[in-house]
């Protein structure tokens, strides 16, 4: 990389060259969480909270409410309750580019306001994990191995989430059902990194996963504008109701940061506010969910 790239914010072309050079030369030596990644988590957490607030979805009331508390392995699950092991995917190439843009002083917004940022680049449709992201996923193996009661794995149809589940819990591949669920995909629209590939391509790459819930060959949910916060919240709540109706008790869910942030701040009431905070890449949190039906009014 030429020295001229370090004198100020680079152009897009030189920034991509720099990103590739960093990925090749330092990925094996990189810590799982760089200072840039930590800064990005703080920035995007604040951006998304303000967006949820602006769109009026905080404090939504529904006929079925869901409460959550931290779950410890081996604890009793009350009747009607569900244990969910929520996993944010490991670092993807879009995450790496976002960190690099910010390192060079470029502002990045992941809520759909950017017109030229890293998340809208056409090269980043459904980006895979970086080497660091794969290491983050593998670092979860001792945790998933200790969770002996998992009887279902649910994954987003985006590659980075599927790869994370594969690497984090290889022992579950032939042991329990794996289901691809469109309702746990990342907030859709505008950001090309959140557009899925063709259903047939995904099924070819991951044939052991049940993709019957994907209704269309193409990603018909993705468009030029960002999905509304209410839409994301509604499909998050729909997923919780789907989960309630399933026979399994413990479920691992590999998904995305903004979707998780919406779920835990607009669909679920957490007894500890820390449970609703922004996930780092490759982070897992185990929650006990309890469903409460609103009283019937005759």
Q: What is the side-by-side order of every strand in the sheet holding 64-70? A: 178-180, 152-155, 250-255, 82-88, 284-293, 64-70, 268-270
Name, in order, each residue with C-beta under 8 angstroms of 182's C-beta and a sequence gap of 6 or more: 157, 213, 214, 215, 221, 235
Q: What is the pLDDT of residue 258?
A: 98
Locate 171 and state its tokens: 């022992």
Rg (CA), the chain: 19
- pTM, two decimals, is 0.89
CA-based torsion, 189, 21, 15, 40: positive or negative: positive
Q: Compute the distance between CA of residue 160 and CA of residue 89 in angstroms, rounded to an integer.
A: 6
User: Rounded CA gap, 223 and 149, in Å?
Assistant: 39
Half-sphere exposure of 279 (CA within 13 A, CB side): 26
184-219 per-position pLDDT tens digit: 999 999 999 999 999 999 999 999 999 999 999 999
- What distance in Å separates the CA atoms of residue 213 and residue 201, rounded to the nearest whole number? 15
pLDDT by residue (tens digit) across 78-87?
999 999 999 9
- pLDDT mean across residues, the chain: 90
**How far apart, in Å, do the first and last CA atoms of the chain sit?**
71
Predicted local distance difference test score (pLDDT) of residue 297:
64
Tokens 């919780």 sit on residue? 240
Q: What is the pLDDT of residues 225-258, one digit of tens each?
A: 999 999 999 999 999 999 999 999 999 999 999 9
CA–CA distances in Å: residue 206 to residues 98, 178, 182, 257: 27, 10, 15, 22
């Amino acid at each position: 990389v030429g020295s001229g790239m370090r004198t100020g914010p680079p152009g897009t072309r030189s920034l991509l060259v720099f990103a590739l050079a960093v990925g090749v030369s330092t990925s094996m030596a990189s810590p799982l969480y760089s200072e840039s990644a930590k800064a990005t988590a703080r920035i995007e957490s604040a951006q998304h909270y303000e967006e949820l607030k602006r769109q009026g979805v905080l404090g939504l009331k529904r006929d079925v409410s869901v409460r959550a508390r931290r779950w410890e392995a081996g604890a009793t699950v009350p009747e009607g309750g569900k244990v969910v092991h929520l996993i944010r995917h490991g670092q993807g190439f879009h995450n790496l580019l976002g960190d690099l843009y910010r390192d060079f002083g470029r502002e990045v917004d992941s809520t759909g306001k950017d017109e030229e940022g890293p998340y809208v680049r056409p090269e980043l449709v459904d980006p895979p994990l970086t080497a660091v992201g794969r290491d983050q996923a593998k670092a979860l193996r001792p945790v998933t191995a200790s969770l002996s009661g998992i009887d279902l794995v649910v994954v987003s149809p985006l590659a980075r989430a599927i790869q994370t589940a594969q690497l984090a819990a290889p022992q579950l591949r032939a042991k329990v059902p794996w289901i691809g669920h469109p309702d746990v995909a990342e907030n859709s629209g505008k950001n090309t990194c959140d557009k899925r590939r063709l259903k047939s391509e995904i099924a070819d790459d991951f044939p052991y996963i049940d993709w019957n819930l994907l209704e269309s060959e193409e990603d018909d949910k993705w468009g030029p504008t960002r999905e509304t916060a209410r839409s994301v919240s509604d499909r998050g709540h729909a997923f919780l109701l789907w989960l309630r109706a399933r026979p399994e008790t413990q479920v691992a869910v590999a998904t995305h940061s903004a979707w998780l942030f919406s779920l835990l701040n607009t669909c679920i009431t957490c007894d500890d506010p820390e449970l609703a905070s922004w996930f780092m890449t490759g982070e897992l949190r185990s929650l006990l969910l309890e469903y409460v039906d609103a009283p019937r009014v005759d």
